[in-house]
Amino acid sequence: MDVPDAIQSRRSIKRFTERPVTREEIERILEAGVLAPNHRMTQPWRFLVLGPRARRAYGEVLGDRKARRVEDPAAAEAVRRKVADEHAALPAMVGVAVKLAADAETREEDYAAAFMGIQNMALTALAMGLGTHLKTGAVMDDPRARAALGLRDDERLVAILNIGEPAEAAPPKPRTPAAELTRWLP
């Protein structure tokens, strides 16, 4: 599969088969991540590969956050359990963090570099027959989520990447053509 084909066929995959993702597969995906461009070779990325216990711990935090929006206590508890169970059952889950630089400009560049690494990881996973789903949001800064991933004080969690064999053929989401979003300057 060449790179344009991989870019064309990549989709966010929300349902995975039960086929486990091996340590070797995860290592290959992470090695693609570290090849991303990064200004001044800061290599800011740090990877947290979550086993079932850590996935459940993270899922409990996320489930608890979602359950807060549910009024009925029994329904809230069901949400909590469902999200925790879903996370524990994921074939693979990688937290991507950046080591925080001292200055704001480098912190911003490092955050951007981390996402270039994530795209490398997603496309490499795709070429290996695996699918990915990138997750972010306010939970990234939740101290309980940080604790579940064992983050250090000088690390910022930027995203979670779920990885597994796709159990669905996700259709492409319509995109506005680049031509409509481009201004060519003389």
Ligand X SMILES: Cc1cc2nc3c(=O)[nH]c(=O)nc-3n(C[C@H](O)[C@H](O)[C@H](O)COP(=O)(O)O)c2cc1C
Q: Which is nearer to ligand X, 99 or 135 (CB)?
A: 135
> Closest by alpha carbon to 95, among 112, 118, 113?
118
Q: Which is nearer to ligand X, 74 or 169 (CB)?
A: 169
Closest residue to bound ligand X by CB: 12
Please report how close the Cβ of residue 88 comes to ligand X at its closest, in angstroms.
Answer: 18
Binding site for ligand X (CB under 6 A): 11-12, 134-137, 170, 173
- The tokens of 18 are what? 């039960």
Please report how close the Cβ of residue 186 comes to ligand X at its closest, in angstroms.
Answer: 32
Q: Distance between CA atoms of 39 and 164, rounded to whole angstroms?
A: 31
Q: Which is nearer to ligand X, 41 or 169 (CB)?
A: 169
**Token pair 């070797």 is at which residue?**
24
Q: Which is nearer to ligand X, 67 or 140 (CB)?
A: 140
Q: Distance between CA atoms of 102 and 148, rounded to whole angstroms?
A: 25
CA torsion through residues 147, 150, 154, 155, sign: negative
Please report how close the Cβ of residue 170 comes to ligand X at its closest, in angstroms.
Answer: 6
Please report how close the Cβ of residue 121 comes to ligand X at its closest, in angstroms.
Answer: 12
The answer to whether 162 touches 11, Cβ cutoff 8 Å, is no
